[in-house]
Structure 1
């Protein structure tokens, strides 16, 4: 006699699993925990088999009967309903585990720890070089030869470095896939050695390293007739040799006038670790001058067009071009190389300079120690360095500034 919806609903658990039969092999199984499962009991090639058709109440009696009817038709056609269901599930799983979907999961997972530029670059390389060829393929079915064809296609265009970078990205995606149990190994490791090595010479940022030329630059900045905010940003850039993004996005809330430090939040740092910049008297004076202007902006160096946004990325370099410096002679990022050279020539320790540059130690214990230990020493170094820059600007005798400190 067929089951009723009321019987299914009121079926209570017992000490052992039991089943209530409906018709044609359909039944509901009640476990001691109270959970209820629809089952289809049938024989295929003489062997008793059971097929799961869903759980109750998610799957109602009517739904279970419909699923049972379809499974019975499959059985009547000479196929095993259980094997057919497993094949469909495997196909669906494969479609959900394509390289592109797994790669996007990996990108999303790392987005918060990357800068926006890094995220866009990685996403762009995968979208341009990998997704069109392997994106729709189940990641578990991708072979080393598939990866090699992708890399050879890039190599044939003469972009060897791009091929290496794409190989590295693919390898990271596969390692993530191993971690989430989508694949068993990384096929990139087998073929990465097939790429020729990158022989490109590293291009360094244009910078000045002669103290006399640095003095000339400082005088040009002092005489700059462009926008006042741009001029002050250039001055602070020389005194602190921080990156363009860190300078341009600086907010008043980050400056501690009492402790004489600037705390750069991790979301604006290249390595995503917050950074403390000791402020010399010269830098504090510049900040005070700007503050006295009462500019209605949260930014120290707001855009020359809109106070609610920051200076554009090219504004500082454009100012240097107006002063007569070509791209091959100097760029704003080159301030870091200029100041680093002067500091090393003056005999300041590598640990101090590297900490000031916010170059993160690989050893996290060492990094934490540096963070706490070197602020006082860096404060002395930065004040001495600011005084030295002023002497170069004023045409003073060029001598190692650490000895004068």
Structure 2
């Protein structure tokens, strides 16, 4: 079976929502059908429709026929599926039939094909339906990681199995085989994804138990977190900068390294930085507004400009940018057009391999300033865009403390230069 990641066809863009049935129907009506309304539907001279939710409706013909139908899209065109007649098929049964059809649609199968019905409860059908239901909540990168992990490690073994017949011992053997190749963290994530798939299937009455839930205690403990090598002594950091300055290297890479040291941002945000993000560079309070889309956030938060991260620029950081702009620039071009490993290679050449990496500046900034300014811990965390562990605080405390953060970055710049 070819299990390659591929863009899903148009019909998969109609996501299956929760069993709570809270989403509005396709025609925009907020009111769902009731058994009483279906029973009371009167015959009229012309056929009409009574909508329930997400494309399901009752078709009432002048002949008195009442039948359940489902509208959906496939190949960019609207399609129609007949589910059954009322009262032979009740409202509850019609909703269940519509749910099964949507699962087939999400898995890339045509619900009008009778052969497709045989695949409705197969693990692959359910897993792909779960993926399509959840992918809108994830970043593109995470969604790709999820589907590739399933296609690589799970579907080759479980694709055709009825989901209700899969036992815990099968899943245990699967995750232990992943552990055996040394991929401890991958095994842990696979178990979590299996757990989510079976939970998804249970609420849709495709199975009754979750065999993945029992595996949590059977897995190997997660590997210890590997810290990024970082210097936490200011004199050593200054020596690193001197060593880098003495190297033969592209000026833009050296400037990027110095700017990274002054701002302590993630390397991804630095490489994505555009001139359009710099505000009041020649003013008294220059600022770098990093778009939320460039930050390490959930997909939903990335889409909200209210989550842009503000970096008050110290005088040395602003002067560095003015130097970088001397040859002219376009507002939408990268400030530092460098490769992903350019700064790390620079540090390795300077003799700091295994001692300090680009991401290490964040640890350096946090460690040294927390020692020097112990009462400013919250402001230091905010300067680094760390998410508060207190969810209530994260939701309600939106104070920017820009003046205090500007003072921190100015103090940090003076320490690096002194």
Q: Report the Cα offset of residue 369 of structure 1.
A: 4.8
Alpha-carbon distance in structure 1 between the residues aligned to 2:318 and 2:246: 20
What TM-score, normalized by structure 2, do the two folds share? 0.65
1:140-176: CA deviation from partner (whole Å, max 9, x where unpaired)? 4433333223112223334333322211222233344
1:40-70: CA deviation from partner (whole Å, max 9, x where unpaired)? xxxxxxxxxxxx7989xx799xxxxxxxxxx
From the superposition, tell whether residues 235 and 35 of structure 1 become closer, same or farther in structure 2 (CA, over 3 Å): farther
Alpha-carbon distance in structure 2 between the residues aligned to 1:270 and 1:359: 10
* Alignment-derived partner of residue 244 in structure 1: 267
Unaligned runs of 5+ in 2: 1-39, 45-57, 71-79, 83-111, 302-307
1:131 to 145, 155, 169: 155
* Alignment-derived partner of residue 131 in structure 2: 104
Alpha-carbon distance in structure 1 between the residues aligned to 2:384 and 2:153: 34
1:372 matched to 2:406: no
| Secondary structure in 1 matching 2:355 | coil
**Superposition pairs for residues 38-77 of structure 1, below 5 Å?**
none
**Superposition pairs for residues 237-386 of structure 1, below 5 Å?**
237-257=260-280, 258=283, 259-272=285-298, 273=301, 274-296=308-330, 298-303=332-337, 311-326=338-353, 328-348=354-374, 349-386=376-413
* Alignment-derived partner of residue 202 in structure 1: 225
Alpha-carbon distance in structure 2 between the residues aligned to 1:360 and 1:181: 38
Q: Report the Cα offset of residue 374 of structure 1.
A: 2.5
Q: Report the Cα offset of residue 96 of structure 1.
A: 9.3
2:43 touches 2:62 (CA, 8 Å); kept in 1?
A: no
1:97 touches 1:182 (CA, 8 Å); kept in 2?
A: no
Count of matched residue pairs: 316
Q: Report the Cα offset of residue 367 of structure 1.
A: 2.1
Q: Report the Cα offset of residue 234 of structure 1.
A: 0.5
Unaligned runs of 5+ in 1: 1-13, 19-30, 40-51, 61-84, 304-310, 392-405
1:202-234: CA deviation from partner (whole Å, max 9, x where unpaired)? 221111112221110122234443111111111
| Secondary structure in 2 matching 1:313 | coil
* Alignment-derived partner of residue 42 in structure 1: none
1:211 to 202, 226, 234: 234
* Alignment-derived partner of residue 229 in structure 1: 252
From the superposition, tell whether residues 38 and 255 of structure 1 become closer, same or farther in structure 2 (CA, over 3 Å): same
Alpha-carbon distance in structure 2 between the residues aligned to 1:123 and 1:218: 42
* Alignment-derived partner of residue 164 in structure 1: 188
1:15 touches 1:32 (CA, 8 Å); kept in 2?
A: no
1:164-191: CA deviation from partner (whole Å, max 9, x where unpaired)? 2211222233344456665555432122
Alpha-carbon distance in structure 2 between the residues aligned to 1:368 and 1:361: 9
| Secondary structure in 2 matching 1:192 | helix
Q: Report the Cα offset of residue 115 of structure 1.
A: 6.1
From the superposition, tell whether residues 176 and 260 of structure 1 become closer, same or farther in structure 2 (CA, over 3 Å): farther
1:221 touches 1:235 (CA, 8 Å); kept in 2?
A: no
What TM-score, normalized by structure 1, do the two folds share? 0.67
| Secondary structure in 1 matching 2:118 | helix
From the superposition, tell whether residues 89 and 371 of structure 1 become closer, same or farther in structure 2 (CA, over 3 Å): same
> Which protein is bigger by CA-based radius of gyration?
1
2:177 to 142, 145, 153: 153
Q: Report the Cα offset of residue 95 of structure 1.
A: 5.3
Alpha-carbon distance in structure 2 between the residues aligned to 1:172 and 1:319: 43
From the superposition, tell whether residues 383 and 174 of structure 1 become closer, same or farther in structure 2 (CA, over 3 Å): farther
Alpha-carbon distance in structure 2 between the residues aligned to 1:89 and 1:325: 59
From the superposition, tell whether residues 177 and 243 of structure 1 become closer, same or farther in structure 2 (CA, over 3 Å): farther
Alpha-carbon distance in structure 1 between the residues aligned to 2:264 and 2:41: 75
From the superposition, tell whether residues 94 and 35 of structure 1 become closer, same or farther in structure 2 (CA, over 3 Å): farther
1:103 touches 1:173 (CA, 8 Å); kept in 2?
A: yes
From the superposition, tell whether residues 128 and 360 of structure 1 become closer, same or farther in structure 2 (CA, over 3 Å): same
From the superposition, tell whether residues 139 and 356 of structure 1 become closer, same or farther in structure 2 (CA, over 3 Å): farther
Q: Report the Cα offset of residue 356 of structure 1.
A: 1.6
From the superposition, tell whether residues 373 and 32 of structure 1 become closer, same or farther in structure 2 (CA, over 3 Å): closer
